[in-house]
Amino acid sequence: MNGVASGLLGRLNLPFWGTRALFLAGTLFLVVESSRGVPLWELIVAVAVFFLCAFVLVTRQFKKGHSTEGDPPGWLIRVAVALCVVGLALLDIYWLASRRVDPLLLIGFVLLLLGLGWLAEAWRGATAERVPALRRWGLVLLGIAIVTGLVAVALLPAAKGGRFLLLVVNLGVAVLVFLPLALNLLSEWGLRKIRGRRFIGQMGALLVFLVAPLVIVSLVLTDWVLAAVLSAAVLVLLLAIVSNTHLDVALVLAGLCLLAATPPEDFEPKTLTSPGGERILVAMGDSYMSGEGAETFYKNTNDSGGNECRRSPTAYAVKVATVEDARFDRLVFIACSGARTYNVVASSKRPDATPQPKEKFTQIDQLKRRGNSFRPALVIVGLGGNDAGFSTLGSACLAPGDCSTDEVKKLFFDNLHNVRLALTETFKSLKANLPPGVPIVAVPYPQPFAEAPKCPGVALTGSERVFIRDFLVRLNKAVFDATTAARIEYLKGMESSFADSKVQLCQARKGDAGVNFVDISSVKGLAEQRFSPAKWIHNSLHPNETGHDALLKTLNTWLNDHEELLDRGHVTPDAETPLSPVDRGAGSEPEPQCSMTDPGNKNCRTQVSKWARQQLNNNWGWGLVVLVVLAILWAATIAAISLHPGHGAAALATAVPAEPTASPTTRPDQRSDSPNETS
């Protein structure tokens, strides 16, 4: 690679400042593209251009090591300080402006990282006399990073609003600024200390370039794919930090811009916006109906802190209504991610009925406001998962420890009785507010996990996967019982939709599965929301585009088998009286410890969070083992990099020239000492 890089640099013939100017240009291009809401392919192009610019700078830096070619360190330091000052000023302005000038947060962080990266580069070129200062300041910065990070992590769970953002910023500064700076300085100190000790360097190279890759491959072969990916990322980042190049800065900047990227949006088609329609399909319910899990959402439905319904053009309800199909000519798409029964039921039915953020009315109230003449051809509703705490269950299973304990099972299983009652009431409310005879179909939840002994790429134990499968079976039973009580249809084929199309997790390759396991996606909205880690995994455990294609196939099959339901003259008897408020759980079973059907009850999340913290406390020993392994890997990386000609003894021979001795044929005024300068 060095030969190719040298040839490229030779042809470009870029001076010292040219490579940095190119890197700055690539950074600017990436920041602009990540803020524009461009399609995924365009964002990938921006990342590729950025890394190409970074490659030119990094290869030159790595080739030179500590050697100098007359590059003025004073100029480098002045620019670095200026970048840091401007970055801090923008962050300060952002905060003083009450976080209204949104782009300043990302731009400020980018400039600060660039400046600190160049300061670290200049600092690492210090003369031998300043080596003790590298260790001293490295340890100070490491201590600051650890204390700041621990305080932020401890206070984050209870923080809200501006305090939450302040803690997130502090955690980001600790992880992205203080920790890399500390490791840079301590790495340089380590390189200076072991220079010339080739045996230590060879042992380090053996560990870093042979043992570590073998461990990563073995993790992949034993289905610990997520652990393998994280291990590989840590190895690359450590190599970047130790190498005294801007590769670590480039990696952090790319990650920051990708997380801050404004996701692309689509405009609603005429099928959703045009008035009228003779054969109207109504799609209502929660995220499995709205299309959560997709790459693109309709405009103004993925605004974190605002409307988070996340209605997607790739949702199966949209596809069945927008294709050239004579069954439907219009779609009323009111499904909303996060919806529970009290967000759907008519406000006249439940006093605690509440519309979701930026939605003016509950979903049934939205239908009522269309007037008595509104008569859809079909209503499909997917509901109950949020009342049952499915997302909370997913978070618990992703936490350290095994979520399939009896303690956790009881929290969720006992709540399903209340879910059934709430669904029955909601389905009856929906039926009562539609013209007689309008067919209503409740859609259950498809099984995301196949029954398999191994599950590549999924960081869940076998017992945890069995627990989630069992939970969904019981949840779908509650949905079915509610449809029976409310006398509406139940689309049973949806339960096995992913299995029928062979797109379940553990059944298909993870990249081909119809469900996102852990999917990190950006959100739109204020930086306060976009930089919240809790917002990055909203697509996890939701059907992606492949999954919605499978659901569409199942729905079409069901519609073909039930054509009589779309007959506008079809009337279903409605002899049963809707439940009264007193009937909801009237002493039939004890109130569960963990209930999500009540908008004021946060007991479920509180108990699950408490359980997760207990698991962290119980597994702190493993965390210590991981830290020790990382420290050993870091030390081995330092030893391996010391073998490079541009580092260690060879580097310092150039950076700190020996005092020349006068020969009998050399006069004192003929000595030519080169000044110590940093590349």
Instruction: Identify the CATH number of the domain in which residue 461 sits.
Output: 3.40.50.1110
Q: How high is the pLDDT of residue 161?
A: 66
Which residues have C-beta within 8 Å of that of residue 492, sequence separation ≥ 6? 444, 480
Q: Is residue 610 located within the same domain as residue 627?
A: no
Is 577 exposed, middle or buried, given 0-12, 13-18 or 19+ CB atoms closer than 10 A? exposed
Domain assignment present for residue 496? The answer is yes
Specify the pLDDT at position 584: 42
pLDDT number for residue 586: 38
Task: Look at residue 444 in the predicted model and tell me its pLDDT.
Answer: 96
Domain-embedded: residue 422: yes
Strands (E), 365-426: 378-382
Residues 220 and 339 in one domain: no
Same domain flag for 611 and 646: no
Three-state secondary-structure class, residue 39: coil
Q: Looking at the structure, do residues 556 and 532 belong to the same domain, yes or no? A: yes
Round to whole Å and give the CA distance between 111 and 189: 26
Position 141 in a domain: no
Does residue 677 belong to any structural domain of this protein?
no
Co-location of 255 and 386 in the same domain: no
Would 270 be classed as within a structural domain? no
- Please give the pLDDT value at position 224: 67
User: Taking the model in full, what pTM does it have?
Assistant: 0.73
One domain, residues 233 and 281: no
208 and 312 in a single domain? The answer is: no
Max CA-CA distance within the chain? 118
Are the C-beta atoms of 524 and 303 separated by less than 8 Å? yes
Whether residues 219 and 360 share a domain: the answer is: no
Q: Are 503 and 643 in the same domain? A: no
Q: Which two tokens stand for residue 403?
A: 């979520």
Q: Is 210 helix (H, G, I), strand (E, B) or coil?
A: helix
Quote the tokens at residue 538. 């909203």
Domain range for 332: 276-565+591-616
Q: Kindly state whether residues 602 and 637 are assigned to the same domain.
A: no
> Does 326 share its domain with 469?
yes
Tell me what pLDDT residue 90 has.
82
pLDDT along the chain (679 residues), means of 10: 46 63 89 78 89 90 60 70 86 63 73 85 76 87 91 78 75 84 90 82 85 81 69 87 87 81 72 74 94 84 78 91 77 92 88 86 92 89 92 77 83 90 94 92 94 80 90 96 95 95 83 73 44 53 90 94 71 42 40 54 66 70 82 90 66 44 44 38
User: What span, in angstroms and rounded, lies between the C-alpha atoms of 121 and 61?
Assistant: 10
Would you say how long the chain is, in residues? 679
pLDDT of residue 262: 67
The strand pairing partners of 211, in sequence order, are none
Q: Which residues contact 166 (CB under 8 A, 6 or more apart)?
A: 159
pLDDT at 134: 85
The answer to whether residue 380 is domain-embedded is yes
Q: Is 438 a member of any domain? A: yes
Structural domains in the chain (count) = 2
**CA 552 centroid distance within chain:** 27
CA atoms within 13 A on the CB side of 192: 22
Q: Is the dihedral of CA 466, 471, 472, 478 positive or negative?
A: positive
| Residue 321 covered by a domain | yes
- Residues 612, 628, single domain; the answer is no
How many Cβ atoms are within 10 Å of 444's Cβ, its own excluded? 26
